[in-house]
Amino acid sequence: MDLGITGRTALVTGASRGIGLAVAQVLAAEGVRVVGAARTVTPELAEVAAATVAVDLSTREGARSVVERAIAEVGGIDFLVNNVGAGDTDGMVLGGFLDSDDEQWQRIFDLNLFSPVWTTKAALPSLLERKGAIVNISSINARMPGGAPIGYAEAKAGLTQFGKRLSEELGPLGVRVNTVSPGVVTSPLWTDPKGFGGKVAELFGVGHSELLVALPTQLNMASRRLTEPAEVADLVAFLLSARAANIHGADYVIDGGTIKTA
């Protein structure tokens, strides 16, 4: 299937690993010139990106500067993938509402909600000029907050609504906005023993590998397996493409059947 995106440009945030890296790889394979932004640029990202930017996207200045760099490197932005999210697990409390402090709320909202807001605002003039497309990477935790760190599900719910609002405003102007909401993905967030998955395993007193094996059953996933980053990336690429020209304001869940409601 020809996606019709060869020769276009894309800014992908949080692109050094996991879903963001997979998106950069898929788009580059389709002939898109990708600018990959992340706090740390990995060799895997540098291999596929037309340009990379090492930046702290949790700050307004970082989000704005990455758009300026992207436009300077590739001449303009056709596609924006707001993938950056989650955050450092070191200071992340997995307990209840009273266990988390105000700083955790601020850190999580800055990275998972405000960073996409700041990046989108900066990129919008170029996207409007080129009649481009935006995909925001949210989470099924926006719909089912249980098990997520305090603040994360709330920020992702805000991101999902942000995408819907943008779609209503920008659709008539020629810019499409859609959301992708993954469930548990085999990204380093879960597969790295020092990441979020490792903290969850520690919380429940089980081994990290044991947790990963048990998750599909524990979550009652219809597929009985976790989602691969490349599967999310394929969906993102389709939503950016000409094949999805009349898809506006949608929220696509890719979770192996974790969510049971319609």
Give the integer Cα–Cα distance in Å for 23 and 21.
5
pLDDT at 94 over 90: no
pLDDT at 244 over 70: yes
Q: How far is residue 50 from each of residues 7, 53, 125, 242, 246, measured CA to CA in Å?
A: 12, 11, 21, 22, 29
pLDDT given for residue 13 in this prediction: 98
pLDDT at 152 over 80: yes
pLDDT at 137 over 80: yes
- Which one, of 177, 197, 146, lies nearest residue 18 by Cα? 197
Poorest-pLDDT segment among 42-51, 140-149, 252-261 = 140-149
Query: What are 51-87's pLDDT values in tens digits?
Result: 999 999 999 999 999 999 999 999 999 999 999 987 6
Q: What is the overall mean pLDDT for the chain?
A: 93
- Number of Cβ within 10 Å of residue 161's Cβ equals 15
Compute the C-alpha angle 26/108/181, nearest 5°: 40
- Number of Cβ within 10 Å of residue 149's Cβ equals 22
Give the integer Cα–Cα distance in Å for 93 and 212.
20
pLDDT given for residue 90 in this prediction: 64
pLDDT given for residue 174 in this prediction: 97
Query: What are 216-226's pLDDT values in tens digits?
Result: 999 999 999 99
124, 116 Cβ separation under 8 angstroms: no
Residue 210 CB burial class (10 angstroms; 0-12, 13-18, ≥19): exposed
How far, rounded to the nearest angstrom, does the alpha carbon of residue 113 sit from its chain's CA centroid?
11
DSSP annotation of 228 reads P
Give the integer Cα–Cα distance in Å for 160 and 262.
17
Reading the block at residue 182, the tokens are: 């993954």
Query: What residue has token string 């800055």?
Result: 110
- Who's near 209: CB < 8 A, 6+ residues apart? none
Query: What are 96-129's pLDDT values in tens digits?
Result: 788 778 888 999 999 999 999 999 999 999 999 9
Domains of the chain: 9-185+228-254 (3.40.50.720)
pLDDT given for residue 197 in this prediction: 83
Write down the H helix ranges in 205-255. 208-218, 229-240
79, 114, 118, 152: which is the annotated catalytic residue? 152
Would residue 152 show up in a list of annotated catalytic residues for this protein?
yes
Residues linked to residue 35 through DSSP beta bridges, in sequence order: 11, 51
**pTM tops 0.75:** yes
Reading the block at residue 147, the tokens are: 């098990």
Given pLDDT bands bounded at 50, 70 and 90, which one contains residue 38?
Answer: very high
Query: What residue has token string 């993954």?
Result: 182
Residue 197 CB burial class (10 angstroms; 0-12, 13-18, ≥19): buried
pLDDT at 209 over 70: yes
pLDDT given for residue 128 in this prediction: 98
